[in-house]
Amino acid sequence: MTYDQILDAIGTILRDKLDNQHIDAFAPQARLNEDLYLDSVLILEIMLALELDHGVALPEDVISRQDLDTVDDLARLFVKAPEPSGTLVKPAKELVLARAEREAAEQIGVHGEDFVDIKVHCFVSNVCHAVKQRQLDHRPFFFGVWDAGFAVDKSWRLAYHASEINHDFFRDWFERLYGAKVRQWYRPGATKEENLATMLELLERKKESEYLMVMLDLFHLPERENKFNQNPFPHYLMLEYTEDPAVWMVLDPDFRWEGRIEKQKVINAIMQPTVAGGFIFDAADIRKPSAVDLRDYFLACFHEDDNLLTRATREVVRAHLEGCDGLQLAELSTALRELPVISIRKYALEHGFAFFWRSLQLSNAEFDTICDDIESLIQEFKALHYAIMKLSQTGNEALAARVFEKLDVLDAIERSLKRRLAQTYRVWCDTRGFLHAPRHDVEDAVA
């Protein structure tokens, strides 16, 4: 197909198949997210429709990369699609624990302050913002993020937000590690109006060192970036008053944004029935965590032999293939629509490695290799999602084999990363004279 034919096909898919409400903005230079409100899943939908309905397919490595901004970027992928470059996942290099005192002394790479910060969990990003403001290392708190909780409901749908998910684990460990108590001000038994009144009172009298967090539906704040374009999109951010009583300062550490938004717009997003939650904590109480507490936190979070997300995804796929509880295969795409929102939490592995790398003054080169493997893990999740959507939309059960192959690949990559992380953790313990597990778990500990 020519470039113009691809453009026409994309427009047709948006209008007729996806019922895009922003089709009037369609043009080659239209931005996929900001102008057409397309998230990563909808972009995959377009790619799949081009393959199934128009006979134009892309190699898996191109599908999973998705470094796209405009309609033109998307169309040009199909005009001159590159040849497959072989397997997406590079074989992991042997982990070599080499000392790198010069890199550490000169603050180069992972040892420097320009190290890329990971933002993949709104609650954790909010409290870690305060930790960074106190000039302390927030990276170890991300130990709990790469396998952070999610839900699979009675209809076998994967969800990053559900009534049974709370942040008690993170709240308790934040207090133990950093000393600050994260107090819940939102009362589940109260009305929305009562909770809003509580929040307004707290905002009025909170100290300068205090941070007030509130959950709102980000979908109802169009001023804010919403890359996933989820509706609803429950999300925690922090609020401050400004000199203008009609405008609030909004701090969103997870999406690296701070700005002024009209008070009533923020309140509207808070009052949505899809969201409920709020906390407050005092950054003045934050202190440096002890090494023993960091060890115990790592062990409380670490699932070396269990990849929770791939296991849950495998179970959801099987349930739909087997027709559990009357499920239809066509429902699988919807059931796993939030897979991209949860899978990006795997980027938190970089923070886990970075903490140990900085502490042990290990080689930048080895850290960069590990980051490449983490990136391969994320890209494989994107390719898996495409394979799941293709299975669901075609109803061709023969395609299930490819889905399970990709789940096996993901398991292998993540297990390899976790083995290397466990190895590095044990070296870190050895340098401090710690047991690898607490004494009350001595039967599992290695001195």
| CATH assignment of the domain containing 74 | 1.10.1200.10
Range of the domain at 40: 3-79
For range 273-300, the mean pLDDT: 97
Same domain, 438 and 303: yes
Domain-embedded: residue 127? no
pLDDT of residue 222: 66
Q: Cis ω on the peptide bond leading into residue 232 (within 30° of 0)?
A: yes
Given pLDDT bands bounded at 50, 70 and 90, which one contains residue 444? very low
Asked if the structure places residue 367 within a domain, the reply is: yes
Residue 94 covered by a domain: no
Return the closest-CA partner of residue 393 out of 58, 65, 63, 53: 53
Q: How far apart are CA 144 and CA 169, in angstroms?
A: 9
pLDDT for res 102: 46
- Inside any domain, residue 89: no
Mean residue pLDDT across the chain? 88
Lowest mean pLDDT of 98-107, 166-175, 287-296, name the range: 98-107
Domain match, 308 and 406 both:
yes
- Residue 275 neighbours by CB distance under 10 Å: 24
Strands 183-184 and 158-159: unpaired
In a domain, 54, yes or no: yes
> What's the burial of 418, exposed, middle or buried (CB within 10 Å: 0-12/13-18/19+)?
buried
Whether residue 433 sits in one domain with residue 314 = yes
Helical ranges in 302-363 per DSSP H: 308-321, 332-335, 339-343, 348-360
* More confident of the two residues 161 and 289: 289
Share of residues in the chain with pLDDT > 70 (%): 87
Q: Answer whether 139's CB lies under 8 Å from 428's CB.
A: no
Taking residues 78-103, report their average pLDDT. 47
Residues 309 and 437 grouped into a single domain: yes
Confidence of residue 364 (pLDDT cuts 50, 70, 90): confident
Average pLDDT over residues 109-118: 58
Same domain? For 107 and 51 the reply is: no
Residues 152 and 173: their CA atoms lie apart, in Å, by 25
Is a pLDDT exceeding 60 seen at residue 94? no
pLDDT tier at 118 (50, 70, 90 boundaries)? low
Q: Would you say residue 314 has pLDDT above 70? A: yes
- One domain, residues 278 and 315: no
Q: Is residue 339, in this structure, part of any structural domain at all?
A: yes
Cβ partners under 8 Å of residue 335, min gap 6: 155, 156, 157, 158, 316, 320
Domain stop point among 243, 259, 285: 285
**Does any domain span residue 170?**
no
State the pLDDT confidence band at 363, using cuts at 50, 70 and 90.
confident
- The first and second tokens of residue 153, run together, are 């409901």
Q: Tell me which H or E stretch contains 212.
A: strand 210-217
Which of 260, 264, 244, 242 lies closest to 252 in space, CA to CA? 260
Give me the number of domains the chain comprises. Answer: 3
For the whole model, what pTM was predicted?
Answer: 0.85
